[in-house]
Amino acid sequence: MSDSSPLDPEAFRVRARELTDLFAKGWSRGRVDVMCAVFADDAVFQETPFSESIRGAAIRTWASDIPYHHSEANFTTGEIFIAGPWFSTEFKLTFRRRKTGEWVEARGAMFAETDGEKITELRMYWHRWNGGRETSRS
């Protein structure tokens, strides 16, 4: 947001939507480069409340597994909510496991902090169902 203040709510809402849509598009298409383009170099990512945070280049390593384990992925997001340099949205992710062919559905929320241009911290909270049966995230 080089031409406007990161606290300009409308401009920031547009940028937050761009970041969210890029992340979702990258995940849906198995495009690690697109997914990781939303993160600042020193970003922190926490996939679930109970997982260890990963930082910087380790985010790309984490994302690189997605195309090998997920097929037919569809990642969609809801309305963007903003507060200062932070934004959040709900999401739904469906995919087929490459090894078993089993369908998985995950629903949750994303909470992001930014530097105004890229995500500096992303936390995801979600619950997953395998083949219509509730399970915890592994």
Please report the domains of the chain, with CATH numbers, ordered by start residue: 9-135 (3.10.450.50)
The Cα 53–Cα 58 span in angstroms is 10
What predicted TM-score, i.e. pTM, was given to this entire model? 0.87
Strand blocks (E) in the chain: 39-46, 54-55, 70-77, 81-83, 86-97, 103-114, 119-130, 133-135
Per DSSP, helices labelled H in the chain are 9-29, 32-36, 58-64, 66-69
Instruction: Place 7 in a pLDDT band, splitting at 50, 70 and 90.
Output: low
Whether residue 37 contacts residue 18, with contact meaning beta carbons closer than 8 Å, is answered with no
With contact defined as beta carbons under 8 Å apart, do 19 and 97 qualify? no
Interval 80-109: pLDDT, tens: 999 989 999 999 999 999 999 999 999 999
What is the phi-psi region of residue 10: left when phi exceeds 0, alpha when psi lies from -120 to 50, beta otherwise? alpha
Structure confidence by residue, pLDDT tens digits, 49-79: 889 999 999 999 999 999 999 999 999 999 9
The distance from CA 134 to its chain's CA centroid, rounded to whole angstroms, is 21
Close Cβ partners of 79 (under 8 Å, ≥ 6 residues apart): 89, 90
